[in-house]
Amino acid sequence: MDITAPTLRYQSGVVEPFCLVIASGTPIAVSRQGSGLPVLCLHAIGHGGRDFEALAARLSGRGFDLVCIDWPGQGRSPDDATGAPATAARYAEILVALLEVLFEPGQPPVLLGNSIGGAAAILAADRRPERVRALVLCNPGGLAAVDGLVQSICRAFSGTFAAGARGAAWYPALFSLYYRLVLPRRPARAQRHRIIASARETAGVLAQAWASFAEPDADIREVLYRLKGPIFFAWARDDQIVSWQRSAAAVLRSGARFEHFRGGHSPFLEDPDRFAERFISFVEEVVLKP
């Protein structure tokens, strides 16, 4: 796929200038802004690196090297060249490779992960703890039991997205309604519109990811409990999909710092001022503490 073509999903991806790097056998679009403590931003499925545009503006000049990526088949990144489906485990493989490619061994980044990006961050931190400075997890998947109800819901969502990928006429309107629930707050409006516009282009990866959420290995609570580094959970309190109610027990057991924010799924996008303030506080009080 020619990433220079003005596809609709291109608009929700990383901002210019950007480059492509090869990670775990597939090209990944990467942009960097600022200098200082590296922060690697990992977006939700069907989104793109532009999710972090508001955060980048608020962290500008504050001593951060903000690195954003687009997962395969989203934003400016081509489809996964290996043919692997979109799963948290696959994204963790890509992430581990990116940690090697983008950062020096003595300068591990803070991983800021949302949804499937948060799950990938947990898995990568477990595999390569020396390559991760800290985790900031925004409504990460994988912190609840994959029971019969969860499997039924995930398979229904996957089927809906698969129909969209096949060209179902009703899909764009339904996706638009759905995303008004996922990202309901005004600060997210522009990116929400971009995500909705690319509905058909991202339907395939959404179908793959939601199918994977129904699998037993989507439950990564035991992986979370093994982690030793600093963790901050920033939870959009109105999330109806990755709900606090189902994930709270795992978060509390982990002993990590947590706070609730306004929004439906992505606090850095929906409650950007408060998120930036609390992110900086976490970094100063925990990550950079002597």
Which range (3-17, 130-144, 267-281) has the least confidence?
A: 3-17
pLDDT at 289: 83
Q: Please give the structure tokens belonging to residue 84.
A: 């692997």
Mean pLDDT of the 63-67 span: 98
- Split at pLDDT 50, 70, 90, the class of 6 is low
- Say yes or no to pLDDT of 33 above 80: yes
Tokens for 26?
């597939």
The Cα–Cα gap between 11 and 140 comes to 24
Longest alpha-carbon distance in the chain: 57
Q: What is the pLDDT of residues 134-187, one digit of tens each?
A: 999 999 999 999 999 999 999 999 999 999 999 999 999 999 999 999 999 999
Asked if pLDDT for residue 280 goes beyond 90, the answer is yes
* β-bridge mates for residue 260, sequence order: 235
Q: Is pLDDT of 249 > 60?
A: yes
Q: What are phi and psi of 216, to 5 degrees?
A: -55, -35
Would you kindly state where each structural domain of the chain is located, as residue ranges? 9-145+218-287
Other C-beta atoms lying within 10 Å of the C-beta of residue 83: 8
**What does the pLDDT look like over 190-210, one tens digit per residue?**
999 999 999 999 999 999 999
Q: Residue 4's pLDDT band (boundaries 50, 70, 90)?
A: very low
The architecture of the domain spanning 9-145+218-287 is: 3-Layer(aba) Sandwich (3.40)
Q: How far apart are CA 244 and CA 250, in angstroms?
A: 10
- Quick one: pLDDT at residue 157? 99
Which percentage of the chain shows pLDDT scores above 70?
Answer: 98
- Measured distance CA(288)–CA(282) in Å, rounded: 9
Q: Where are the alpha helices (DSSP H) in the chain?
A: 53-59, 88-102, 116-127, 148-166, 171-182, 189-197, 199-213, 221-226, 244-254, 267-270, 272-282
- pTM for this predicted structure: 0.97
pLDDT over threshold 50, residue 256: yes
